Amino acid sequence: MRKSATSDSLIDAAQRLCAAVDKLTFAPPVTHVYNPLDYAWLAYEMYLRRYANGRKRILFLGMNPGPFGMVQTGVPFGQVAAVRDWLGIETKIDHPTNEHPKRRVTGFECTRSEISGERLWGLFAQRFGTAENFFREHFVANYCPLAFVESTGRNRTPDRLPPVERAALFAVCDEHLHEVVRILEPEWLIGIGDFAAKRAHAIFVDQPPRIGRILHPSPSCPASNVNWAGKAIMQLHTLGVWT
Residue 145, Cβ density class (10 Å: 0-12 exposed, 13-18 middle, ≥19 buried): buried
Q: What's phi and psi for 141, nearest 5 deg?
A: -135, 165
Q: What is the mean pLDDT of residues 189-197?
A: 98
Q: What is the mean pLDDT of residues 18-29?
A: 98
- Statement: residue 3 has pLDDT above 80: no
Q: How many domains does the chain have?
A: 1
Percentage of the chain modeled with pLDDT above 70 = 98
- Statement: residue 1 has pLDDT above 50: no
pLDDT digits (tens, 9 = 90+) for 133-159: 999 999 999 999 999 999 999 999 999
- The pTM for the full model equals 0.96
pLDDT digits (tens, 9 = 90+) for 154-186: 999 999 999 999 999 999 999 999 999 999 999
pLDDT digits (tens, 9 = 90+) for 76-124: 999 999 999 999 999 999 999 999 999 999 999 999 999 999 999 999 9
Strands laid side by side in the 147-150 sheet: 30-34, 147-150, 155-156
Domain that holds residue 186: 3-239
What span, in angstroms and rounded, lies between the C-alpha atoms of 72 and 184? Answer: 26
- Statement: residue 2 has pLDDT above 70: no
Q: Do 193 and 216 touch, CB atoms closer than 8 A? A: yes
Pairing of strands 30-34, 147-150: antiparallel
CATH number at residue 66: 3.40.470.10
- Judged by DSSP in three states, 58 sits in strand
**Cα–Cα distance list, 188 to 12, 178, 201, 208, 232 (Å):** 23, 14, 12, 8, 15
Q: What is the mean pLDDT of residues 21-47?
A: 98
- Statement: residue 59 has pLDDT above 60: yes
Give the model's confidence band at 75: pLDDT under 50 very low, under 70 low, under 90 confident, else very high: very high
> What was the pLDDT predicted at 207?
86
> What was the pLDDT predicted at 206?
84
Q: What is the mean pLDDT of the chain?
A: 96
> What was the pLDDT predicted at 4?
65
